[in-house]
Amino acid sequence: MINIVLFEPEIPTNTGNIMRSCIATKSTLHLIKPLGFSLDDKYVKRSGVNYIDKCNYKIYENIEDFYNQNEGTMYYFTRYGHKPHTSFDYSDSNENIYFIFGKESTGIPPKLLKPHLDKCMRIPMSADVRSLNLSNCVAIVLYEALRQQNYNDLLFDEPHKSKTFIEDEN
């Protein structure tokens, strides 16, 4: 099972976009307080495009609360990581995998990263930017893990129109 963990997220549109990605990929979202917004925020709802009620998510009071309730392999995303996200093996679809992302302004605190240096990673990028948008990072990593799991029961055909929709168009 793939899990996305947001440590103290600050921007409601990022979280809304991430909720939509979690719904699309059958992933679970974990939100660690404090949140920089209310989940009732119109920006969260707008970004989630009315799918938020289908999102499997849980809220935790703090990081210790999260650690106490979850077991599995934890991966930490940080611009200080030395390994690319593609260098890890996520292929076991029976393993609980947690991708932990920090708050938009400061990331994951070094004191949380230090004990897990072997599981710290980054998405390679140029020196011209400090980081990518949080929701983009989540999507990149989420789909790499799903690719390694052969997309784990996700649809390869559009479900709302026929499989031959394009061929049938005049």
Number of domains in the chain: 1
| Sheet hosting strand 2-7, strand order edge to edge | 57-60, 28-32, 2-7, 97-101, 73-77, 120-122, 83-84
Q: What is the pLDDT of residues 82-129, one digit of tens each?
A: 999 999 999 999 999 999 999 999 999 999 999 999 999 999 999 999
pLDDT of residue 130: 86
Q: Which residues of the chain have pLDDT under 70?
A: 41-50, 170
From CA 28, how far away is CA 43, in angstroms rounded? 20
Q: Residue 89 belongs to what domain range?
A: 2-168
pLDDT of residue 45: 64
pLDDT of residue 54: 86
Q: Check: CB of residue 69 under 8 Å from CB of residue 98.
A: no
pLDDT of residue 155: 86
For the chain, the average pLDDT equals: 91
CATH of the domain at 98: 3.40.1280.10
pLDDT of residue 145: 97
